[in-house]
Chain A
Amino acid sequence: MIDARKTGVTTRLGLTAVAVLLSAIIASTSLVTAQDACLGTAEALHLTDAQKADLKSRNLRFGFLTNNISDDFSRTLVKGGEDYAAEVGVELIVNSADFDANTQLSQFDALVQQQVDGIFLTAVDAGSIGQAVRRANTADIPVFIVGGAPARGDVISVMNASSYQGSYDAGIALMDKIGTSNAKIAVLGIPFALQTIRDREKGILDAIGARGGQLISMQSDFSQDTLLQLATNVIQANEDLAGIFATWSLAVNAATEAVKQSGRDIPIAGYDSEAPGYAELASGSTPIVALSGQQAAVQGRAAIEGLAQAIFGATLCEEIITPNLLVTADNHKDMWPVQYPGTPAPWE
């Protein structure tokens, strides 16, 4: 005999389950729609001709703060921003903090005081800039940041190079070049607590793991000369060292010079492909296997376009990733103009 009460309960439960399922589907669909609605790539930020004309008529002023200007990445980032700002008639106020968080804070506050129309920055310390970002929020100034979200305040988006993937790809190229299992790898890096650095380190560690290698040393410093010393010491101490991975430009230079001076055949891969790295790849005899290059010029342009899109009312996705280039001896001539447009190549 069928229990009517039980049947009723079952039916109700069934209906509730269906309702929950439907709600979940509707919610996820709307989420996907919202995600689709936001601009999530550098290409998606591109302005139409009409928007460019509109921008020119507005006479906007943007602040453009970098953590330093002493590397090719920052220099190219600024140039990318300046070139595009000039094209769309935006006045750009550029400043470098020379890796000093307090200096950057002062520069940021000065921009808020000047009531600029937008601020783009590569933060020295995303944590300490939060209070200033809040002040910009209060003044209705959109803030677009590279590297990591500030601890406080709202930004329109965080732009990042694909640090993990770039490092992983270069790491795999290194491990494949070595070609033996259990290869001993040393990593030369920078003692910066930035997310991008952590991602680069994770990328190479995963690449080493994926090919059955072994990390035997992890050294880091800010100075090129100290990095050269560290690389020399690591080579000296490990007769069976199979490869070196450098997580930033000066470490690439230092590792290359240390390997050359040692006279040993130790392949190198790294993150950051700057002029000295390109010159090495062009030399025809280099220990460098592959370098992962950030597209700084693309990011510089995206900085201006992102702020402009926010002013036009568009929503930017929480994170915008710009893909890296994998530069090798075979493709370096093609990659240089992509990475450093308008800049003479070091071998010319």
Chain B
Amino acid sequence: MTSPTAELERRARLRRAMIATSGIYIAFAVLVVALAMISPAFRSPDNLVNIGRQVAILGIASSAMTFVIILGEIDLSVGAVASVSGVITALALSAGIGPLAIPVGLAVGAGFGLLNGLLIVYVAVPSFIATLVSFFIAQGLALTLTTGQTILFAADGFRLLFATGSVLGFSSAFIWLVLVFGLMGWLLARTRFGAHLYAIGGSQDNARMLGLAVDRMKIVIFTLAGALMGLVGMILIARIGNARADGAIGLEFDAIAAVVLGGTALGGGYGSILRTIVGVMLIGVMNNGLAILNVDFNTQQIIKGVLVIAVVLVDRWARNIKMN
């Protein structure tokens, strides 16, 4: 039988552990409750569906970035690859090749991802440089193909499939997001592949000594991230109905912010898709809430900065409790 003191200590330890892993969730909950109390428009069911649709692009990009960051690498080509994939898909749709445009778009993204992986593994350049190379090539290719013009396309079926369609009230873009989160979360948490990814991200030298295929993992992860950027590019053009060379430029920074905000370590070896989901939702809810409250752009930037640092501090406070 445990003594009352031991029982109290056990409960306190449990409480500390819960807080330690929930800092980000607490911050998210506080933000949602605050916005729901302030604005009736925010808490309307339509708006929740609206938020789901709006976070689809950032969510898919962030799930790809989570894998890359857990691997201990970085991908700066995300926005440019999504843009060029969208542009090439739109051109393919305009050319009248129909559903074949979809594998074309995915292949463009995967191709750039493969290029990133090959440059990192076989040319031995850091991912920062390799993905910067891809960023420039993808951006240049998109500008060349569009000659700076907005590419219009008429493909209602394509738009319904990737963004504007609806199943049980949820937009197709959101359903793609759920599928990607589900697949990536399962891969990371429930498979040997995920375990190897954590191990390699934690220490590449140790992983090599254990006989893990580090180089192959890098190529696979970057190719997978590229293919997901192909999907992002298609959702992007399906949402707005046109394609532009600068369609997703800057997406990489938002994705990195969402992943890091969620608590995934930039050094690699630690993180989860669930945490990234919360990071993505935090950004999505923040953007939606501030616009719904009709806060002007300049003030929004200040509030976002303050909220982000508040979330980071809450998370750090929670981790300190665990360490103590």
- A residues with CB within 8 A of B: 68-72, 74-75, 189, 191, 216-226, 228-230, 232-234, 236-238, 250, 253-254, 257, 261, 274-276, 279, 346
Say yes or no: A275 contacts B152, CB within 8 Å: yes
Say yes or no: A275 contacts B150, CB within 8 Å: yes
Say yes or no: B294 contacts A253, CB within 8 Å: no
Say yes or no: A229 contacts B287, CB within 8 Å: yes
Say yes or no: B250 contacts A276, CB within 8 Å: no
Cα distance A225–B241 when bound, in Å? 11
Known A-B contacts A225-B248, A257-B240, A257-B241; the reply to A72 vs B292 at CB < 8 A is: no
Say yes or no: B298 contacts A225, CB within 8 Å: no
Stretch at the interface among B16-24, B46-54, B220-228: B46-54
Cα distance A74–B46 when bound, in Å? 39
Residues facing A in B29-47 (CB within 8 A) are: 39, 41-42, 44, 46-47
Say yes or no: A216 contacts B294, CB within 8 Å: yes
How many A-B contacts if CB must be within 8 Å?
Answer: 97
Cα distance A233–B246 when bound, in Å? 23
Nearest-CB distance from B143 to chain A (Å)?
7
Which residues on the B side are within 8 Å of A250 (C-beta)?
244
Which residues on the B side are within 8 Å of A218 (C-beta)?
296-297
Which residues on the B side are within 8 Å of A189 (C-beta)?
297
Nearest-CB distance from A96 to chain B (Å)?
8
Known A-B contacts A257-B239, A257-B241; the reply to A232 vs B50 at CB < 8 A is: yes
Cα distance A189–B164 when bound, in Å? 24
Cα distance A340–B147 when bound, in Å? 15
Interface check B282, CB cutoff 8 A: no
* Closest B residue to A234 using CB positions: B291
- Chain A binding surface SS class: helix
* Closest B residue to A226 using CB positions: B287
Say yes or no: A75 contacts B50, CB within 8 Å: no
Nearest-CB distance from A64 to chain B (Å)?
14
Say yes or no: B242 contacts A237, CB within 8 Å: no
Which residues on the B side are within 8 Å of A222 (C-beta)?
250
Say yes or no: B297 contacts A225, CB within 8 Å: no
Say yes or no: A253 contacts B149, CB within 8 Å: no
Cα distance A83–B280 when bound, in Å? 48
Say yes or no: A230 contacts B143, CB within 8 Å: no
Residues facing A in B275-324 (CB within 8 A) are: 287-288, 291-294, 296-298
Interface check B148, CB cutoff 8 A: yes
Of the candidates B39, B148, B244, B246, which one forms a contact with A75 in the assembled complex, judged by CB atoms under 8 Å apart? B148
Of the candidates A71, A191, A236, A346, which one forms a contact with B50 in the assembled complex, judged by CB atoms under 8 Å apart? A236
Of the candidates A70, A216, A223, A234, which one forms a contact with B245 in the assembled complex, judged by CB atoms under 8 Å apart? A70
Q: What are 14 A-B pairs at a CB distance below 8 A? A: A68-B148, A70-B148, A75-B149, A191-B297, A219-B291, A220-B297, A224-B240, A224-B247, A225-B57, A225-B236, A225-B248, A234-B294, A237-B294, A253-B240
Nearest-CB distance from A307 to chain B (Å)?
23
Which residues on the A side are within 8 Å of B248 (C-beta)?
223, 225
Say yes or no: A274 contacts B294, CB within 8 Å: no
Cα distance A222–B253 when bound, in Å? 14
Say yes or no: B47 contacts A236, CB within 8 Å: yes
Say yes or no: B292 contacts A69, CB within 8 Å: no
Say yes or no: B292 contacts A228, CB within 8 Å: no
Which residues on the A side are within 8 Å of B239 (C-beta)?
225, 228, 257
